Amino acid sequence: VQLQASGGGLVQAGGSLRLSCAASGRTFSRETMGWFRQAPGKEREFVAAIWRSGGNTYYADSVKGRFTISRDNAKNAVYLQMNTLKPEDTAVYYCAAGYGIILTSVRTVRAYDYWGQGTLVTVSS
């Protein structure tokens, strides 16, 4: 699976952005998809994940209620709608894919096998 993230940019606090991740590979519909982010000087952290069927979603507490993850298996794409953005959301955002991820590992970086190149989101105050 190859992943290409896009949609980042500069936005004012309170604004919205929608990130997209295009995936190649015939196994996309069987992969759990996740979004992670990494701010300067910090470790990569979990943001959101969606089960392969799209029925179950998971969020970091810091983004719950503001971000929504979704997927379109027909288009081999996963999205992250980000609303009410805050300066602390500033980071490089990465999409990731993993096969056979168990529920207790869905928030961990090492559970994912494939990573996109990242897209920068900057939120100004």
pLDDT digits (tens, 9 = 90+) for 49-67: 999 877 799 999 999 999 9
What is the average pLDDT across 75-86? Answer: 96
More confident residue, 49 or 104: 49
pLDDT at 72: 92
Note the pLDDT of residue 1: 81
Let me know: does 48 contact 35? Beta carbons within 8 Å: yes
Q: Is the dihedral of CA 37, 48, 103, 111 positive or negative?
A: negative
C-alpha distances (whole Å) from 100 to each of 14, 47, 68 are 36, 19, 22
Q: What pLDDT, on the 0 to 100 scale, is given for residue 53?
A: 78
| pLDDT on residue 21 | 97
**Tokens for 6?**
């896009």
Task: Report the C-alpha gap between 73 and 15 in whole angstroms.
Answer: 28
The torsion angle over the Cα atoms of residues 85, 88, 91 and 96, rounded to 10 degrees, is: -70
Q: Tell me: pLDDT of 100 over 90.
A: no
Range with top average pLDDT, 1-10, 25-34, 50-59, 96-105: 1-10
pLDDT at 55: 78
Residue 31 phi/psi, 5-degree rounding, is: -100, 140
| Mean pLDDT (whole number) for 16-28 | 90
Query: Which residues, in sequence order, are CB contacts of 71 under 8 Å at separation 6+?
Result: 33, 50, 54, 77, 78, 79
